């Protein structure tokens, strides 16, 4: 008996129209990945010129429209905005009646579970939190790199299978995180990302000071463990190849240089935190930010 051929992605059942609110580095890549699985991106929103160009590159022929119009067109909406902007965005969309009953709302923040989507839940939306543990470049390379990427998944129990299925369709590996464990999950990722990034950056500076001309020049996995490339390989999905790459990382608890200042999570540090001095220059790059960094009190 001949096996029946698998249907083409676009012919599979339960294909969804997809919208992106916040065409930063993450949203267009996830939507492009969902398109490969047979879903249909129909709208995206973006404010900056870079966001508009990114949407055009990764989601060709998908119109850029206001957020309310994205929700009007899409059955599955990706809310891929910075952590600080997410609660206000959700509240605003719910208050204006943009959220429709039965609509899937997905945010990609590692910091929050589904409780941040409570205003939309009251309007009848189906909330999902899918956090890809990966550094995004904002290019088409990210779509391929999603293969095997871990996603922190939080959802109501009745939506757990749907949430995990979406991750699998994007090529990722779902890791279930209970709502009450989300702060600890977020803190764990922050520790790994912040500490390793600082370690690698400091190592590179010392190697340059010792006369090594290209300390990041060798990254072949088959070569001897030269310089810091093996350390960088320990960071999930984000090999460090230059100083620019270390600054481009945006770990969940980055200082103000990352644009989203965080205090340490109470899950691992319940005591008051006071700014302190004496850290090396590579421990914080808030020199580029007018705000005060909680880690070193620089402005």
What is the side-by-side order of every strand in the sheet holding 17-21? 40-45, 17-21, 76-79, 104-107, 126-132, 150-154, 173-176
* pLDDT at residue 298 tops 50: no
Domain that holds residue 191: 180-210+225-242
Query: Domain check: are 37 and 149 in the same one?
Result: yes
* pLDDT at residue 147 tops 70: yes
Query: CA-CA distance, 207 to 211, in Å (whole number)?
Result: 7
Average pLDDT estimate for 166-181: 97
Q: What is the pLDDT of residue 8?
A: 56
pTM (2 d.p.): 0.71
Q: What is the pLDDT of residue 235?
A: 46
Q: By 3-state DSSP, what share of the chain in percent is helix, strand and coil, each rounded to 5?
A: 40, 10, 50
Q: How many domains does the chain have?
A: 2
CATH of the domain at 162: 3.40.50.720
Average pLDDT estimate for 236-240: 42
Per-residue pLDDT tens digits for 122-139: 999 999 999 999 999 999
Q: What is the pLDDT of residue 198?
A: 85
Query: Domain check: are 20 and 131 in the same one?
Result: yes
Per-residue pLDDT tens digits for 22-56: 999 999 999 999 999 999 999 999 989 999 999 99
Residue 61 neighbours by CB under 8 Å, 6+ apart:
none
Residue 55: in which H helix or E strand, if any?
A: helix 49-58
Terminal alpha carbon distance of the chain? 71
Could you tell me if residue 215 is inside a domain? no
Could you tell me if residue 111 is inside a domain? yes
Q: What is the pLDDT of residue 211?
A: 86
Q: Under a CB-based contact definition with an 8 Å cutoff, are residues 130 and 106 in contact?
A: yes
Q: What is the pLDDT of residue 164?
A: 97
Query: Domain check: are 187 and 201 in the same one?
Result: yes
Per-residue pLDDT tens digits for 48-83: 999 999 999 999 999 999 999 999 999 999 999 999
Query: Domain check: are 229 and 153 in the same one?
Result: no
Average pLDDT estimate for 267-293: 46
Query: CA-CA distance, 133 to 148, in Å (whole number)?
Result: 10
Residue 156 neighbours by CB under 8 Å, 6+ apart:
114, 126, 127
Per-residue pLDDT tens digits for 111-122: 999 999 999 999
Query: Domain check: are 70 and 117 in the same one?
Result: yes
* pLDDT at residue 255 tops 60: no
Query: Domain check: are 171 and 196 in the same one?
Result: no
Query: Domain check: are 79 and 184 in the same one?
Result: no
Per-residue pLDDT tens digits for 203-233: 888 888 888 887 765 433 333 334 444 334 4
Greater pLDDT, 265 or 110: 110
Q: What is the pLDDT of residue 283?
A: 42
């Amino acid at each position: 008996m001949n096996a029946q051929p698998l249907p083409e992605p676009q012919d599979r059942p339960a294909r969804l129209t997809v919208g992106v609110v916040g065409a930063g580095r993450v949203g267009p890549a996830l939507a492009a990945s969902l398109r490969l699985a047979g879903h249909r991106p129909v709208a995206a929103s973006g404010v900056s010129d870079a966001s508009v160009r990114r949407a055009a590159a990764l989601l060709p022929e998908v119109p850029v429209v206001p957020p309310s119009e994205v929700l009007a067109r899409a059955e599955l909406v990706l809310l891929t905005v910075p952590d600080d902007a997410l609660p206000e965005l959700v509240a605003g969309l719910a208050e204006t009646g943009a959220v429709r009953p039965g609509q899937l709302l997905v945010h990609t923040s590692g910091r929050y579970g589904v409780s941040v989507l409570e205003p939309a839940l009251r309007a009848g939306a189906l909330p999902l939190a899918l956090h890809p543990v990966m550094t995004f470049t904002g290019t088409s390379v990210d779509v391929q790199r999603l293969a095997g990427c871990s996603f922190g998944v939080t959802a109501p129990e009745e939506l757990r299978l749907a949430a995990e299925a979406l991750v699998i369709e994007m090529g990722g590996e779902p890791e279930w995180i209970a709502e009450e464990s989300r702060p600890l999950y977020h803190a764990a990722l922050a520790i790994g990302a912040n500490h390793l990034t600082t370690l690698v950056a400091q190592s590179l500076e010392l190697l340059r000071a010792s006369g090594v001309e290209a300390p990041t020049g060798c990254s072949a996995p088959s070569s001897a463990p030269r310089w810091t490339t093996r350390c960088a390989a320990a960071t999930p999905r984000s090999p460090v190849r230059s100083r620019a790459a270390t600054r481009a990382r945006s770990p969940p608890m980055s200082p103000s240089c990352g644009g989203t200042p965080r205090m340490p999570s109470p899950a691992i540090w319940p005591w008051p935190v006071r700014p302190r001095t004496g850290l090396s220059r590579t421990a914080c790059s808030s020199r580029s930010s007018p705000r005060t960094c909680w880690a070193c009190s620089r402005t």
